[in-house]
Structure 1
Amino acid sequence: MRLVFAGTPSAAVPTLRRLAADHDIAAVVTRPDAPLGRKRVLTPSPVAQAADELDLPIIKTARLDDDATTAITALGAELGVIVAYGGLVREPLLSAPVHGWINLHFSLLPAWRGAAPVQRALIAGDAELGASVFQLVPALDAGDVFAMRTVDVPADATADAALDALAIDGAALTADVVAGIADGTARAVPQTGQESLAPKLSLEDGLLDWTQPLEKVFSRFRGVTPEPGAHTTVEGVRVKILDAAPTAENPLEPGEIVSTKSTLLIGTGSAPLAVTRVQPAGKGAMNAVDWWRGQRSEGLRAGL
């Protein structure tokens, strides 16, 4: 089929590559170049870079406004495919392709509708993660579902690693649905089950509450890593926690910090969290034990 593809982050790249191998991609729609790094260098999105490698036409737009709608409609695509583009598809663009638009969403819908489904699922401690391909409708992630797949994700995977795994499986799932739409065999069914929402994360979502049990503290660490980043405060200074793991060590007081040869143990409401790498505000990433040795550590606690 003749497709238009919309996406922005690296999680959308596997689907673009998979569809480009089997279909005519009329254009790739992505967000404009964004400043990255300390030098704020304007950098194309991962999807734009992949589209360039595949020699596909690219439309860069921050939103699907009237100009973008006119340009995309003129392509004559039979189907639109969207994966984490970062903007809404509204009428009349929504109905422009004969088969409308389908969306690859990284949750088991109707669970975690919204911008941060993987992160919110990890924070909540969900036992399963998955991907859904559904018909795009005006309501948020509410369309009928063509296909859904539960994906095995390591129990300690952070959000970036979990999303990488979901992106690969989601690409195959989307390719199957597009093939079914092309040959007329695809069928979508209404969503069933309990709806939950997954709004975009803020910096405050990364703040760890050491009074909670270790399971909840580690779940939040997984969900907010790498962005917006798990963090705590020590003497009022924000410290980002880059690498951490649960332990079966004897309990410490919530926020109490004990140094071993290789890790810092920080007390929670149950067993301690083992922290191996940190990034204090205004500094680079460093070994957690080395950072702690440089502090006036007696009596200091996390979260204070």
Structure 2
Amino acid sequence: MELFPKGGINVHPSLLPRWRGSSPIPHAIMFMDEETGISIQTIAPEMDTGELLNTHRIPLTGRETSASLSHLCAQLAGPMVVEVLDEIENGIAESRPQLGEPTYCRKITKKDGHIDWHRTSREIDARIRAFDPWPGSFAFLRDMRLCILEAEPFDDFDPMSKAGYVTNPSPGTIIAVVMQKGIIIRTGDGYIAVKRLQMATRKAVGFQEFACGARDIIGAVLH
């Protein structure tokens, strides 16, 4: 830092002090935040504790993935950096301390992608979106790795409306295939509809194609 008399700046994709750390975008999605943003901060000795030079709020719809939100943040951050650098060069930059209780995000690992079907439908959906593209979300179907690429909660599903419905299913049980919706899987508090998925060593497909090619999946339990 001594080599830079005017200090340094850093772009952080969250509204600091929320989600200090290395993975703020997945955490904002995983914890179902209603908004996130971009913070331009001064570089400080401790990670993400610098003073704020500029911020931009981003409302979240609840359908973002880490890929789509990262792309949006990258588009918005460029002009913000140019503006801050101009202000620093002209001697008019104003900084302010971070306010509020900080929260911290941990490093995401490959193991995080393994779906726990005992979680709520909204939690599972959020984690699938948070881990897109990395590490990806997956489960095992008859000991074969199955990547879940896209899904959404299915709050209105009535299992008794389907012929041959599974009684007393445990979380992770494939209940039905509903046209225009997805492959329906039991969760800890309801159901989730899987729309795109990929079996190990095979290409990603929509749920209709997968259901046509898979044998006897109704009643199978993902683990």
TM-score bracket relative to the smaller structure: 0.7 to 0.9
The 3 A distance-change label for structure 1 pair 154 and 203 is: same
Note if contact 1:239-1:278 (Cα within 8 Å) is conserved in structure 2: yes
Equivalent in 49, 55, 61 of residue 154 of structure 1? 61
Note if contact 1:153-1:165 (Cα within 8 Å) is conserved in structure 2: no
Equivalent in 194, 209, 215 of residue 290 of structure 1? 209
2:23 is the alignment partner of 1:116: yes
**1:174, 1:108 → 2: CA distance?**
15
Equivalent in 40, 50, 54 of residue 133 of structure 1? 40
- 3-state DSSP of counterpart to 1:299: coil
Note if contact 2:29-2:62 (Cα within 8 Å) is conserved in structure 1: no
Note if contact 1:147-1:173 (Cα within 8 Å) is conserved in structure 2: yes
- 3-state DSSP of counterpart to 2:221: coil
Structure 1 vs Structure 2 CA RMSD: 1.8
Any residues of structure 2 matched to 1:9-28 within 5 Å, and which? none
Match of 1:181 in 2: 88
Equivalent in 256, 259, 268 of residue 173 of structure 2? 256
Note if contact 1:151-1:165 (Cα within 8 Å) is conserved in structure 2: no
C-alpha displacement at 1:250, in angstroms? 2.4
Q: Deviations over 1:213-272 (max 9, x none)?
A: 211111111111111111122122221111222223326642121112342111212332
Unpaired runs of 5+ in structure 1? Answer: 1-93
Note if contact 2:157-2:191 (Cα within 8 Å) is conserved in structure 1: yes
Identity %: 27
Any residues of structure 2 matched to 1:156-235 within 5 Å, and which? 156-235=63-142
Match of 1:142 in 2: 49
Unpaired runs of 5+ in structure 2? Answer: 160-168
Note if contact 1:132-1:147 (Cα within 8 Å) is conserved in structure 2: yes
Structure 1 ranges of 4+ moved more than 6 A:
none
Q: Deviations over 1:54-84 (max 9, x none)?
A: xxxxxxxxxxxxxxxxxxxxxxxxxxxxxxx
- 3-state DSSP of counterpart to 2:179: coil
| Greater relative CO, 1 or 2 (CA 8 Å, sep 6+) | 2
Match of 2:219 in 1: 299
| Number of residue pairs aligned between Structure 1 and Structure 2 | 210
C-alpha displacement at 1:166, in angstroms? 1.7
- 3-state DSSP of counterpart to 1:265: strand
**2:129, 2:38 → 1: CA distance?**
18
